């Protein structure tokens, strides 16, 4: 192992439960765009275990060197070199039929969340699938005390960030042509939400 690579312990814990859901959510998909791929641990693991997919990781510029290094070291043939994508900037052109993103919506500002859904709505064809992993609120309430504490920490660090409420996200997704398909409860009070592009 190369300890110099960026590393997330949480990714090691959550990658298998995420894979379990994506096995069915992405069963009929072929090309995945990942937003905010971070350390690349999800990209490496999910692409390896979903070999029918071509996986395209992306992230902001400051994450690209570490992400590229992990993919060079650990990636297989179905995992592409990462591409620069800041959701608030013009998006490169992708031919994909699925989008995956983990632990990003609560890090971004709300305008960037809007950019994310607008961008996903543009890149996905009809029947395309968006899968989003992370913590969410429901009807203004947190799903656990630990998520409430996490949200407070996020907002203290960056007032523009914070755990999003699914009730706020659903209409934003709908405006981008995305209809909520599934909401899976995953360990540690996280969710895996999937949307389908319906128009
Ligand atoms: C907490 S990390 C999650 C990384 C990885 N997906 C994971 O689950 O470990 C948050 C990610 O959101 C990404 N992100 C934040 N703002 C973004 C933006 N404007 N455009 C694209 N990605 C963004 C960061 O670059 C970072 O990769």
**What digits encode the pLDDT tens for the residues 46-98?**
999 999 999 999 999 999 999 999 999 999 999 999 999 999 999 999 999 99
Give the position, in ligand 1's atom list, of the atom nearest the Cα of 115. 19
Give ligand 1 pocket residues (Cβ under 6 A): 8, 11, 35-39, 42, 59-60, 63, 85-88, 102-104, 107-108, 112
pLDDT classification of 21: cutoffs 50, 70, 90? very high
DSSP 61: G
How far does residue 162's CA lie from ligand 1's centre (Å)?
13
Q: Is the overall model pTM greater than 0.95, yes or no?
A: yes
Torsion of CA 28, 47, 137, 149, to 10 degrees: 170
Estimate the crossing angle of helix 41-49 against helix 9-25, to 10 degrees. 40
Q: What is the mean pLDDT of the chain?
A: 97
Q: What is the pLDDT of residue 25?
A: 98
How far does residue 113's CA lie from ligand 1's centre (Å)?
11
Give the position, in ligand 1's atom list, of the atom nearest the Cα of 8. 9
- Ligand 1, from 16, 34, 36: best to mutate by most atoms within 8 Å of Cβ? 36
pLDDT classification of 4: cutoffs 50, 70, 90? confident
Residue whose structure tokens are 């999003």 = 164
Residue with CA at minimum distance from ligand 1 atom 22:
36
**pLDDT at residue 2 tops 60:** no
Give the position, in ligand 1's atom list, of the atom nearest the Cα of 37. 6
Percent of the chain with pLDDT over 90: 97
Q: What is the pLDDT of residue 64?
A: 98
pLDDT classification of 3: cutoffs 50, 70, 90? low
Q: What is the pLDDT of residue 38?
A: 98
Alpha helix (H) residue ranges in the chain: 9-25, 41-49, 64-74, 110-123, 145-157, 166-175
Alpha helix (H) residue ranges in 26-162: 41-49, 64-74, 110-123, 145-157
């Amino acid at each position: 192992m190369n300890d110099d690579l960026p590393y997330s312990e949480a990714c090691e814990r959550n990658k298998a439960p995420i894979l379990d859901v994506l096995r069915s959510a992405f069963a009929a998909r072929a090309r995945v765009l990942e937003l905010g791929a971070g350390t690349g641990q999800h990209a490496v693991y999910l692409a390896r275990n979903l070999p029918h997919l071509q996986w395209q990781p992306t992230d902001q510029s400051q994450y690209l060197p570490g992400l590229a290094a992990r993919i060079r070291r650990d990636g297989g043939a179905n995992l592409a070199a990462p591409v620069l994508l800041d959701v608030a900037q013009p998006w490169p052109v992708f031919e994909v039929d699925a989008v995956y993103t983990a632990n990003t919506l609560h890090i971004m500002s709300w305008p960037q969340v809007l950019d994310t859904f607008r961008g996903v709505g543009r890149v996905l064809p009809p029947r395309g699938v968006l899968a989003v992993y992370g913590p969410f609120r429901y009807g203004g309430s947190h799903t656990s005390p630990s998520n409430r504490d996490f949200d407070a920490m996020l907002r203290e660090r960056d007032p523009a960030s914070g755990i999003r409420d699914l009730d706020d996200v659903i209409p934003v997704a709908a405006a981008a042509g995305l209809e909520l398909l599934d909401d899976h409860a995953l360990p540690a009070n996280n969710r895996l939400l999937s949307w389908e592009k319906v128009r």
